[in-house]
Amino acid sequence: MSNDNPKIQVFGSGCSSCKRLHELTVQAAKELGFDSKVEYVTDIQRLMELGVMQSPVLTIDNQIVIVGYVPDMDAIKHALATGQQNSQDSKSTGCCCGGNC
């Protein structure tokens, strides 16, 4: 990350998966010592402006790092610490096919 207080946002419709990603992200940010507030955005228009058609979405400093599923805590911490998805995660493409297209 370029700074100690990245802009962290979770976008979603308000469903249980979106809420879960937000909760886990808040916990991960706290455990990593970030002072950043994790914003939870339920405005579908803003989600569409990102150019994605799936939720939940995790962005860090306006960069999309997770799309379409709720990863485990380690993957979320990795994303927060590096600003990118773990490349070993088969779902890192954010595609609904899990990267098999």
- Residues 39-96: pLDDT tens digits? 999 998 888 898 988 899 999 999 999 999 999 999 999 999 988 775 544 344 444 4
CA distance 75 to 40: 19
Q: Which residue, among 35, 28, 38, has the nearest Cα to 81 in the 3D structure?
A: 28
Q: Model-level pTM?
A: 0.80
Cα torsion 15, 19, 22, 24: sign: negative
Place of tokens 């228009």: 45
CATH superfamily ID and name for 8-82 = Glutaredoxin (3.40.30.10)
Side by side, which strands form the sheet with 57-60?
Answer: 38-41, 8-11, 57-60, 63-67
Query: What are the domain boundaries of the chain?
Result: 8-82
